[in-house]
Amino acid sequence: MKKSIPLAISILLLASTFALTQSTPRVVTAAQINGVYKSGRNDFRILALGHNKLQVQFNGEWMTRYGYPNIGKAIGEATIDGKVATFVPGETKNCKITMTFLPHNKMVVRQERQRC
């Protein structure tokens, strides 16, 4: 009986440690997020504000189908949960941008709604 109590406690501690590591999302630090992310002539400028908030500035340039440049920008705050930030620029309701932060200063950006 004496050997089964330490074994039971060890199993319980191991199970609780496993549960804790599985339930907490990977959090990125301000040092990992802050910076300029570029792709072609487009860039995102990100600054961590604390309290799960980011200051985001997007500068974009793309060509229309007639060959004329279309230039746009958006500035505002994003909320971040773990390594995924959600940005709804300015007063827009029909534009949602999701930014996923990856290792080595990389970011994947997805536009979730059509009209941005």
The domain limits of the chain are 30-111
| 43-96: pLDDT as tens digits | 999 999 999 999 999 999 988 999 999 998 999 999 999 999 999 988 777 889
How many Å apart are CA 72 and CA 60, to the nearest integer? 5
Listed ranges 8-17, 25-34, 48-57, 105-114; the one with the highest mean pLDDT = 48-57
Rounded to two decimals, the pTM is 0.70
- Give residue 8's pLDDT band: very low, low, confident or very high (50, 70, 90): very low
pLDDT at 25: 52
Full DSSP string of 56-81 = EEEEEEEE-TTS-EEEEEEEEEEEEE
**pLDDT over threshold 50, residue 101:** yes
**pLDDT over threshold 50, residue 3:** no
How many Å apart are CA 112 and CA 116, to the nearest integer? 9
